[in-house]
Amino acid sequence: MRCAELTLLVDESPAEVLDALADLSGFPAHAPDVRSVVVVPDPERPGESVSRWEVHFRSGTLRWSERDRVDRENLRIDFAQEDGDFQHFEGSWQLREVPSGCEIRFVARFDFGVVSLAQLLDPAAERVLKDNVARALTGWFTGARPAGAVPAAAGRS
């Protein structure tokens, strides 16, 4: 199973970042490879929803539905595929307050389930995931930067 990890810093509070990230339908506006995200809140489970994703990948489109759970107390969003193109896809967004604002740690574990193509597909999928997360965060939050980088101008775009 492949793991994609990315940690960035932004100049906003964890609560503001969590509110923005919890609205998954905002991803297509900030990450061009994300073609669409449709979010359906679960009325029986407060803080949970099912989101349907379409993401450009190589010469086609990856599609999946995932269950998303927002844990405001722990500044965390967990997700796990319910159906779709991956054999396995799950991960989290973990936020942490830091002196300059908020650290965002994204982790996704995935497996296409095609052993013979894993060496080709897995690195490409990891790159697409990381690129889309970095683009989305850079588009959403002014001053988004890799952990350890010097802060840019504060504020949200």
How far is residue 100's CA from residue 142's CA, in Å, rounded to a whole number? 13
pLDDT confidence bin for 148, thresholds 50/70/90: low
Taking residues 74-99, report their average pLDDT: 96
Close Cβ partners of 55 (under 8 Å, ≥ 6 residues apart): 33, 34, 35, 61, 62, 63, 128, 132
Taking residues 132-148, report their average pLDDT: 86
How far is residue 154's CA from residue 117's CA, in Å, rounded to a whole number? 43
What pTM does this model have?
Answer: 0.86
What structural domains does the chain harbor?
Answer: 2-146 (3.30.530.20)
pLDDT value of residue 155: 45
How far is residue 109's CA from residue 41's CA, in Å, rounded to a whole number? 24
Taking residues 91-111, report their average pLDDT: 95
Task: Return the DSSP state at 156.
Answer: B
Task: Return the DSSP state at 45.
Answer: S
Q: Which residues pair with 77 in a beta bridge?
A: 70, 93
* Lowest mean pLDDT across 8-22, 56-70, 123-137: 123-137
2-27 confidence digits (pLDDT tens): 889 999 999 999 999 999 999 999 99
pLDDT value of residue 156: 47
